[in-house]
Each structure stands twice: as structure tokens, then as C-alpha cells.
Amino acid sequence: MWLCGSYELGGQLSPPEALGAVASSVVPFTPKPLKTVLGTIVMPLLCESADAWSAFVISASIVALDLSTGKLRWAYQQVHHDIWDFDSPSPTVLIDAPVNGTMVRGIAQPSKTGYVYFLNRETGRPVFPIKETPVKQDSFQRTSKTQPIPTMAPFSKVRVDAQMAKALQASADSQRRGLKIIPSTIFNGFGVKGTTLDATAPSASGGDNWPPSSYDPQSHMYYVCAQNGSQAFQVATQKYRAGGTLTGAAVFAFTGFNNPGTLTAYDMTTGRIAWQRQFPDACYSGTVATAGNLVFVGRNRGQLEAYNGRTGARLLSFQLGAGVNTTVTPYSLNGKERIVVLAGGNALNGSAHGDSLWQLSLDGTMAQAAAGSSGRAIQHAGDSQRTRTSGNSTSTANVRGDATAGRSVFANNCASCHGALGTGGNGGPNLRNEPLARTVAGTIRQVTNGGGGMPAFGGQLTSQQIADVAAYVTTAITGGR
């Protein structure tokens, strides 16, 4: 972990009095750093706290560390003062490609910004120009005067269109009447007061979120799976309260995690888009390119699809019965090529749920599964698709909870935000400080309906699971007090 504004690179921390800011730290969000033959590991880092407003040099950045000493070799900042949550959760990919007659040893990083950052992995410098571009300013949030915008065309929309604006307007109307969404572009600041909200694209969901990208070293084609999200905020000044949730937003209009999607192929010798497929739903699986010129992609409705890597023509669509929201794993067994993939669905985008591990080959004889029905996504506060369940529903009120069973429910659904012990974690408050968490009825109501930045689980968990987790929270974590 580094302190934002590493003095080794000449950065400076923001003054402590600035917006009540405190020193912030950054960590990698991607599942696994990339090890190179150059004796380095390369990884993207998260954004800093939005209140820490200086142009920190290693937050929202790609960094290379010396493998033997841990010292910083180079860092490239993708977003200056990231107030949009534009980190890069997707794994970094090694790319060796001939560019202008020279073989470049590079890395590619697709981002929530909708852009690919293609850097020389020896120096950290862009392979194709990335220009510091003036952007609209927000004096309250001390936004950076410029942002590094790649000349490689974006794989997601970076300007709010009419469809996005309509969805954001519905989201804003559900929170406060009289607000007007103003379609805008990437890197616009957020409103502080008034009745207009500047909407930006992409959103914190992407662009590309966690889904991995892939590269074919024979064709030099690079494949990115993404979506066209958008968002709009109205900033609020909030007083610190121990254990409380501080979102910094009075209004958060958001289009969720299942926006229209894209599958994009780049020719990395030129940096140009070779082809792009448009989907009505998010491309939320990642891509895998094979030596046979195939690109495998999973779909939310349960299809496993394969495309011609050079042309983008679809060659295969096979129904697996639940959302294919992960990448395939190709392998060879007894001289025959096979792939294995999980069809389990995804909670955030509400794809059909299941629990099937499929192994497929050209000589397979098993028929396709019946298509599963789409689930209800667990929504973040402000999502325009959110439908709240009323209070303590009768379906849960008469169910007796089992705290032992609730421990597993908590670990699988709650611990990632509230921590394994319920005392706070990745954005979730310490439950011992939350009045609703002290009673079974209050816990059931909060879990069912969500609110205050917490998604609603009423359409995701069964009544028994909600009763079980309420029993666990009130006995093992808060003790009813």
C-alpha cells in the first residue's frame, strides 16, 4: 500500500484543511498483478478519496514495481483527481505488437473510462498518443484542469445519449422531484446545488469493470467486453459520524450494471477498432481469445458465444441455462481441445441464476439447457430500475430465523461490505453502530429494502435467508443492543 502523492515521484498531499480532507491510500483492485519477464509486476491502482483533491501521481494509475525490491519503476496516471470512481478493476494484459516497424513490448489496460491505455511496459509511456485535454471545471471539487484522453477510440460511449438521459431522469425523479438531467460528457464535474445535474458517461460500472480482456498474439487483435453506463450526482457536505455511511451525494442517479453492451476488437498495430458488436445488455463476462481465431464471450441470458476474431462474425451460441458472467478456460485433454465455464449468473446485473459447471468440446453430445429467467439485480441507491419492497413483508414476518444458517448468508452477501465480523469493511458501516441492526424487524426491513447506499436484497434472497441473516446479525454481531 502507498500513501497517495508518493514523494518518491514528486507528488504532494492535499492540505489537511482542504474540504476536511484526510490522507488517503490506494490499493490494487484487480484480482491478480501481472508478472513480466522484465523483472517487474504491473497492476492498476484504485482512486483516492474524492476529498483528497491534489493531482496524486499514483492513484487511479498503472504502476510497475521491481519484483525483487518492491521499488517503483514507473507509474502512469489514467485519471487525475478521480471523483467518478474510474479505477481499472480489469486485469492488465501483456501485448507484444509491431507498431510502425518496431516490436513494442506493451501492456493494455481497459478502464471504466471506456478507453484502453496501451503503454510500453519498459517505460510506462503511451504507445499511441494520450493527450492532456482541457475539461470542464468544478471549483468546489477542485477538478483537474486536464485529463489524459487516449487517441485510441473508446470502446464505450463517453457522451450521454438520449436513452441514457431518460434512464437517469427516471432515477433522479425517484429521489427528488424537479431535477433536470443535462446530458454531458466524460470528466464533467457534479453539481453542488440547484435543480440541474450534469450527467456523465461512462459510469462507475463502466466502461469495462472487472471483466478481463484478451489478446491474440498471432493476429495482434485485442478484445474488450464492456457496457455503456452513465451517472449524475449532486454533491452533499456530510458530517463525519463513526460507523456511518458517507456517500457525499445528495442525489445519485445511476443506470446500474446491465446497460447496453459492446464487444470491441482493436488492431493493436494501429490502435484502431477493427470491429465492434453491439448488445442490448451488458457484456459482463470478459473475453478469451484462442489460437484458432476464436473469441469466447458469455452472455447474461445464458448463452456462451464464439466469434471469428478477425471479422466479428458470430460462429456459436449455446444456451447454458444461467448467466455466463465469467470467462471460459480452454484446455486440452487426451489430445482434444475443450473449454470449461461456470453458468451461475450475477447479482449486480440480475442475470439468470444457476449453479452449473459446463465442459464443452466439438464432439460433445449434450443438448442445450433451457434458458433461465432473469433475476432481479441488487441495486445501489439511486438506480432507476429499483423497485422497493414495502416494509417488513408478511412473507418474512412469519418466518423463524436460524442464526447458524444466517452466518453463511452473511458471509456470502454482506461481509464484502460490512467486513467478516460486521464491524465495517469496503464501504459498509459497523453494524454495531446501526440502530436498525439491533432488532430482527429492523434488520429484515433494511436487508429487504436497502437504502442509505445499501442495495435491496428483497428480490435476491429468499424470505428464509433474510430471516436467517437477521437472526445472525442480532445475535452474533450486535447482540440486540
Q: Tens of pLDDT along 324-350?
A: 999 999 999 999 999 999 999 887 777
Please state, in angstroms and rounded to a whole number, the distance separating the CA atoms of residues 150 and 313.
27
pLDDT band at 16 (very low <50, low <70, confident <90, very high): very low
Instruction: Note the pLDDT of residue 468.
Output: 94
Task: Say whether pLDDT at 49 is over 60.
Answer: no
Instruction: Tell whether the model's pLDDT for residue 388 goes beyond 50.
Output: no
Nearest to 453 by CA among 208, 150, 246: 246
Residue with cell 446500474: 256
77-95, pLDDT tens digit by residue? 999 988 898 988 899 999 9
pLDDT tens track for 53-75:
444 567 788 888 888 888 888 88
126 vs 11, 68, 101, 107, CA distance in Å?
A: 20, 25, 17, 10
Report the distance separating Cα 68 and Cα 401, nearest Å: 52
d(CA 100, CA 363): 43
pLDDT at site 52: 47
- The Cβ of residue 218 has, within 10 Å, a number of other Cβ atoms equal to 11
The mean per-residue pLDDT over the stretch 399-414 comes to 88
| H helical segments located in 129-218 | 162-173
Q: Which domains does the chain have, with CATH numbers?
A: 2-343 (2.140.10.10), 394-477 (1.10.760.10)
Amino acid at site 179: L
Residue 251's pLDDT is: 84
d(CA 97, CA 101): 10
CA distance 478 to 481: 6
- What's the rounded mean pLDDT across residues 15-25? 40
**For residue 147, is pLDDT > 80?**
yes
Residues 291, 216: Cα–Cα separation, whole Å: 7
Residue carrying C-alpha cell 470502446: 155
Render pLDDT for 103-124 as a digit per residue (tens, 0 to 9): 999 999 999 999 999 999 999 9
